[in-house]
Structure 1
Amino acid sequence: MPKIRAEKKSRVHTEVAKQGILFNKDFGQHILKNPLIIENMVEKAALRPTDVILEIGPGTGNMTVKMLEKAKKVIACEVDPRMVAELQKRVQGTPYQSKLQIIVGDVLKSDLPFFDICVANVPYQISSPLVFKLLLHRPLFRCAVLMFQREFAERLVAKPGEKAYCRLSINTQLLARVDMLMKVGKNNFRPPPKVESSVVRIEPRNPPPPINYQEWDGLTRVAFIRKNKTLSAAFKQTAVIAMLDKNYKLHCSLNNKLVPEDFDIKQMISNILEKSSCEDKRARTMDIDDFVRLLHVFNAEGIHFT
């Protein structure tokens, strides 16, 4: 007689089952349950009694309550209506009820309010767009203490020459100082994620650097297409040459400048890379100052990246 396999039962955390909540993987829901890590994150944020805090993905409110104890106000942005209900139930009838404001919806599609500090256990799939949404938000906030997937956090703090160094590293570090605070094991969450996590502190540069960020982003996008190849090779790609040629001619048109009949965009790019001593450099070894100088030389010659 064939052996009948026992039906697999999904493992659901006891406490979660009691609450009747099944976490939604589409929203990247992994609730931080270790009170020591929650305490540590709140402490690293150095909250003041006058601060307005933005929390993204508050879940059932473990960290929210800790921040409500210390701050003037917490604005919690939550996409899942079930979590919103749990959070409201948790503060109902307490002194914290009037200090909590909940924004229901996708944080990437929402207009962010004014806030002093951002503290969050970030859903991993929105990590990169969220970082830049925060850093381009005005007025500037004081700092953000954020939990990310460890690999992503390591890319945020990586320095030129390191394996993890990439376009994300330099774009973030142009706009902010980023420090690694602590590592967090997967068993500190329920349900446990498949990856390890890390907490970073992001402090926006104030005042922001006097650079057109769209131009900067366009330059680093080209340079890091193949971060181990020379810039000379990166700028020889057909799509890059076509884009810069179009942008140069548009620049000339807007400034009533004639494009010479013998104009050669390839030669112009080569001259710029040689002039800035960058033709043999590789993106993975270049720091912010190297890219700032290169962008200024390109722009001075009328070549733009937007």
Structure 2
Amino acid sequence: MPRATTEKFSRAHQPAAKKKEGKETGSMTNPIFNTARFGQHILKNPATAQKIVDAANLKPTDKVMEVGPGTGNLTVKILEKAKHVTAIEMDPRMAAEVIKRVQGTPEQRKLEVVIGDFVKVDMPYFEVCISNTPYQISSPLIFRLLSHRPLFRVAILMFQREFALRLVARPGTALWSRLSANVQLYAKVDNIINVSRNDFRPPPQVESSVIRLVPIDPPPPVKFEEFDGLNRIIFSRPNKTVRGNFQAKGVMKMLEQNRKTWLAMQEMMDDGKAINVLVDEVLAENEVTENRAAKMDIDDLLKCVVSFP
């Protein structure tokens, strides 16, 4: 039997309220499970499911982590090719359905189902991640994967199309953003499959896309918190100059407090240089004073973050 590990659930996981007559139609709800409760949409098109699994180029020795298996339409296809699958599912009823689908088959020994919130559960060792991602955990899933060690080989992830396009956006395009820069610092990202809303049950309000995420190995020697801190400032108004964003209300005060904290932790003396002077020197040194975040690439951003003492 595949193993199922249970977690405690909050009130959000209690049975949903009974449907009021006339308020919903059968076409808008899953006939077996209340998928809307967890923001899930079950992938029903077998051809699309096969494309997603094929995109992972699975090996017979691979250990796969699947996030949000739903009723197992992707899971059964992954099990055909991989050595082992750990499926993390929040809805106990769906987890039971996944287990039921492989009972009595050779694949049942290759499957472990973990019941719980992906954001909170311990991740297993894995080489490949595949996910039809619940929309509300799109960003947490991406950054939890990128911070995981040891590095995995590849992740094949389905997201709302707008989110996916922001992940793959390039400098100078309308969708280039803090999210794009933060993800592309650590991984190569490609949009590989566009998925119609009609491939799901119930159909979501938006179209979806599948992306391929390959971690950069070794990862760049920069702290994510520092890189993201810089991006928070300069992407706050991406079409304004970098210097203009640093001069926004409250920014210099925050930087001064952070600098004092850092000096204290390093047991170093303050040289007395004003924070605005220090910022201007760093921006001028990297020739980005009049640049705009909307057009700065990863190298531009990295030069800035490593120049700050």
Q: CA deviation at 1:9?
A: 5.6
User: C-alpha distance in 2, partners of 1:79/1:219?
Assistant: 35
1:8 to 2:19 alignment: no
The CA deviation string for residues 72-99 of structure 1, in whole angstroms up to 9 with x for no partner, is 0110000001101111111111111111
1:235 corresponds to 2:249: no
Whole-Å separation in 1 of the counterparts to 2:264 and 2:68:
47
1:290 equivalent to 2:290? Answer: no
- Pick aligned residue for 2:47 from 31, 36, 51: 36
CA contact (8 A) 2:197 2:207 kept: yes
Q: Against the structure 1 CA distance between its residues 9 and 176, is the aligned structure 2 distance closer, same or farther, given a 3 Å change threshold? A: same
1:280 paired to 2:290 = yes
CA offset at residue 256 of structure 1?
4.3
Deviations 1:179-233 (A, max 9, x none): 0101111000000000000010000001111111111111111111111111111
Contact 1:124 1:148 in 2 (8 A): yes
| Identical columns (%) | 50
Give the CA deviation at 1:255: 4.0
The alpha-carbon deviation at position 257 of structure 1 amounts to 3.7
Counterpart for residue 277 of structure 2: 267
Cα drift, residue 26 of structure 1: 3.2
**One-letter identity of the residue aligned with 1:287:** D
Give every structure 1 segment of 4 or more consecutive aligned residues whose post-TM-superposition deviation is greater than 4 Å: 13-16
Q: Is 1:210 equivalent to 2:221 in the alignment?
A: yes
**Structure 1 contact 119–146 (Cα < 8 Å) conserved:** yes
Distance in 2, Cα, partners of 1:55 & 1:276: 42
Report the secondary structure of 1:148's partner residue. Answer: strand
Q: Secondary structure at the match of 1:107?
A: coil
**TM-score if structure 1 supplies the norm length?**
0.90
3-state SS of 1:120 partner = strand
Q: Look up the match of 1:138.
A: 149
1:161 has 2:177 as partner = no
1:253 is displaced (CA, Å) by 3.1
Contact 1:23 1:30 in 2 (8 A): no
Pick from 186, 203, 222 the counterpart of residue 192 of structure 1. Answer: 203
Counterpart check, 1:108 vs 2:122: no
Q: Secondary structure at the match of 1:156?
A: helix
List per-residue Cα deviations over 1:247-286 (Å, max 9, x = no partner). Answer: 222333344443345x321122122212211110111100
For the 8 Å contact 1:182–1:199, the answer to whether it is kept is: yes
Aligned pairs, how many? 289
Q: Is 1:24 aligned to residue 35 of structure 2?
A: yes
Q: TM-score, normalised by structure 2?
A: 0.90
5+ residue gaps, structure 2, are: 1-20
| Structure 1 contact 143–203 (Cα < 8 Å) conserved | yes
Contact 2:190 2:213 (8 Å CA) reproduced: yes
Tell me which of 129, 137, 140 is aligned to 1:129: 140
Describe the SS at the equivalent of 1:62. coil
Q: What are structure 1's unaligned runs of at least 5 residues?
A: 1-6
Does the 8 Å contact 2:40/2:135 carry over to 1?
no
- Root-mean-square deviation (Å): 1.6
Range with bigger deviation, 8-17 or 47-56: 8-17
Counterpart position of 2:18: none
1:33: how far off?
0.5
1:218-233 residue pairs with structure 2 within 5 A?
Answer: 218-233=229-244
User: Secondary structure of 2:74's partner?
Assistant: helix
Secondary structure of the residue that 2:80 maps to in structure 1?
helix
Distance 1:68 1:265, change over 3 A: same
